[in-house]
Amino acid sequence: MDPRQNAIFRFALVFLLIAAGFVAVLVYIIRIQWFERDKWMQMVNTQKPNATVIAPQRGNILDCEGRLLASSIPGYYVYMDTRVPALHQGGDTLFYRYVDSIAIGLARILPEKTAADYKKMMVKSFNKQNGKTASGQRRENGSYLKLCPHRVSYIQKREIEQLPLFRRGYYKSGIQFVGSPQRKKPFGSLASRTLGTILSNGKGNAGLEKTFDTELHGIDGLALRERMGGKWEDVSVREAVNGYDIVTTLDANLLDITETALRGCLERTQADWGCCILMEANTGKIRAISNLDRNIDGSYSEKANHAVTRVEPGSTFKTIAMMAALDDGKVNLTDTFEVYSKGWTYLNARHTDAHPKDTIYTLRSALAISSNIAFAKMILNSYDKKASKFVDKLQSMGIRDSVYSEIPGAQKPRIDVPKDAVTLSRMAYGYSVELTPMQILTFYNGIANDGRMIRPYLVERIMDDDEVIREFGTETLKASMCRRSTLEEMKLALHDVVWDNHLGTASVNPWRQPKAQSKLVPIAGKTGTAQLFRNGRYQSREHRMTFVGYFPEDKPQYTCLCMVEHPKNYGLYDAGMDCGSVVRKIAEKTIVYAGHYIIKGDSLVYEKNK
């Protein structure tokens, strides 16, 4: 072959090789695109680095002494992925070799099911047929099995990890743990509704958990799941920032004292629900709060936050109406009002007293015995045809202002200008108006605090370890609710409610048993009894009872309110006996706990702590 022919031959050979390679690539592309697309797309998806959210540690809620009220502890859901290829290799011998041992171990660690139940679950999951893929290829058998419906503790997790086969890890056994921290309240039901709850996604759902969810939750981290060294690993991209701690004004010991006293009253009276709040007089710090609802079985637990739910206050509103009229110069403590045993009818409204008699009361004694007739006359004499001025006066005293609360869902007061004299007369003794127990407490605390109305608050500070992120303090709502002379007159009248043994509704019962009276700590305050409005009318046999007062009377340090809804195990409704005695018990134990009194020996002899 001459050189020219040799060159042509070599060129043709190279061309044919290139053309063959091109055709082979084209065929391979067509094969991948049209015949193997599903297979390769599935492989691509498994190779993608998946972003994983790293949940931060939720912050704690603490009482004023640093004791845990709510905290997160590790919890895990347990799964077994019986689709893992290692379990199906070698004629399924690996799975069946260990399934009995695993079942026995799970029954020991998680005894809610027997070993036979666990084995049945795992075998059924392992033998599950998953059909075929879109390309006709057979999928692996098995399924993703949840071994336990509830979260297991860290100790239980460690024990499960040491079971036969499971100790080999996920790729050899299919065992997998998904972290899901549990929110625990070490003090059980104490202030449970106020502290709140969280949802399954870790977000606050009620109470302080909801109000301060952003601070408690922290900042989520981010990790990418990548294949490294032959196995999948989570590679952190952004570290999670743990949540802050919330330090509350609550005191665990006072919470226990308050709930115990309230629970005893509710169990004795079989009431629908009860609410009790204890607040420091000159700071506004809520030291204890309890909300108990009756369950179907007759027990009581925290279900709703009645402390911030609006109700008709009943006779506790008489103090508010009286302060307005006194401060406006409409009446004096010595003004008299004639009352009648058969009631008093004005226009189309009939007013009656709980202690009916034909007599004459001064304004001071009318508050002590809580006469509806006297107060209806008082408010009509003062503000008839000038109802707007009465409501304006209440506004100037701060009663109509919405008291901000850290508790979500807190309702605003409802005190509207009455459209007629009948409504005005009923407002005098706490109907046709609505206040929350927290707002009632705030007003009475203003009297205890020498006329300075302050906002109740539940959170003292937000902490990041030992660093204070934000601090909360006393907030004044009204520097002076009324004139000084008015305040002194109100204190005299509230004293009689508890200490006038002839008239005071919170003094003693007919058998001389004390209601709110205490030999250990002097208390002043006011009772309230309101008929419940149901089915379009007021129910004469269903009542809401209240006592709100402050102690020690000479130099108030605390204000306390107790409210009980519809007691029904006896016919005698007595706010002073039931609610007043609750406040008395709380006051006595609080003063001892706060160090103002000491106990000598086992005889419970109290004396002033010097």
pLDDT at 47: 56
pLDDT at 609: 45
- Which of 336, 277, 75 lies closest to 182 in space, CA to CA? 75
Mean pLDDT of 71-98: 82
Query: DSSP strand E in 230-367: where?
Result: 231-238, 245-248, 273-280, 286-294, 300-301, 336-339, 344-346, 349-351, 359-362
More reliable by pLDDT, 430 or 226: 430
| pLDDT band for position 602 (cuts 50, 70, 90) | very low
pLDDT at 48: 55
Q: What is the pTM of this model?
A: 0.81
Looking only at the bridges linking them, the beta strands covering 476-478 and 605-608 are unpaired
pLDDT at 237: 74
- SS3 sequence of 336-379: EEEECCCCEEECCEEECCCCCCCEEEEHHHHHHHCCHHHHHHHH
pLDDT above 80 (res 181)? no
pLDDT at 428: 95
Q: Which domains does the chain have, with CATH numbers?
A: 45-74+182-248 (3.90.1310.10), 76-180 (no CATH), 252-608 (3.40.710.10)
Lowest mean pLDDT among 109-113, 200-204, 312-316, 506-510: 200-204
pLDDT above 90 (res 372)? yes
pLDDT at 553: 92
pLDDT at 342: 93
Mean pLDDT of 300-318: 95
Mean pLDDT of 100-121: 91
pLDDT above 80 (res 135)? no
CA 526 – CA 518 distance, rounded (Å): 15
CA 208 – CA 186 distance, rounded (Å): 16
Sole residue written with tokens 């179907």: 296
Output the CA angle 292-293-297, nearest 5 degrees.
120
Sole residue written with tokens 């002076």: 480
- Helix, strand or coil, per DSSP, at residue 515: coil
CA 206 – CA 192 distance, rounded (Å): 10
pLDDT above 60 (res 169)? yes
pLDDT at 341: 93
| pLDDT band for position 107 (cuts 50, 70, 90) | very high
pLDDT digits (tens, 9 = 90+) for 32-52: 777 777 776 766 665 555 667
pLDDT above 60 (res 469)? yes
Find the distance separating the first CA and the last CA of the chain, reported in whole Å: 129
Q: CB count, 10 Å around CB of 589?
A: 20
- Which of 345, 368, 372 lies closest to 356 in space, CA to CA? 372
Summary mean pLDDT of the chain: 87
